[in-house]
Amino acid sequence: MRPLTESVTVHINAHPQVVWDLVSDVTRIGEFSPETLEGRWISGATGPALGVKFQGHVKRNGRGPMYWTTCRITACEPEKDFAFVVEVPGMSGVNTWRYRLAPADDGTDVTESFELTPSLFIRLYWTLAGPLRAKTNIRGMTETLNRIKAVAETAA
């Protein structure tokens, strides 16, 4: 069985704080992601913090279906690590998305990754659709990071 995770790393010629401000502001996700059209803080939240929830408006595979997801921040270490789990009623979560930032040379190496929760349903789904979905996610993560790179390097 293929691993339930994949990642992409891109070097950005900007300070980690500049990159952090972009990846941790979910209200800007629509600028960067090819699948998530918009994001909004919920339950009174106004910014990133451990345990905070937000919603993402997703257009699956860039074509549909469209739906809202609720996500909970699981890692929030400024300039280093930002992660959130996509929650589904009745489950602890289905997918964790993460951005790891590392100072490198004249900027920041940013790694975006996803890791699926290893439930029976997810393992069956990944066995059947994993290779195709992994390619889609890798393409999407690459596009997301390159869009973040363009904004960060312009701001730097």
How does residue 2 score in pLDDT terms, banded at 50, 70 and 90? Answer: low
Mean residue pLDDT across the chain: 92
Tell me the HSE value of 114 on the side-chain side, using a 13 A CA sphere. 18
Q: How many domains does the chain have?
A: 1
Residues 61-99 pLDDT 10s? 777 789 999 999 999 999 999 999 999 887 778 899 999
| Amino acid identity, position 83 | A
CA distance 4 to 122: 9
Q: Which domain holds residue 128?
A: 5-155
DSSP letter, residue 94: S
Tokens of residue 107, six digits:
């900027």
- The enclosing domain of 62 has a CATH number of 3.30.530.20
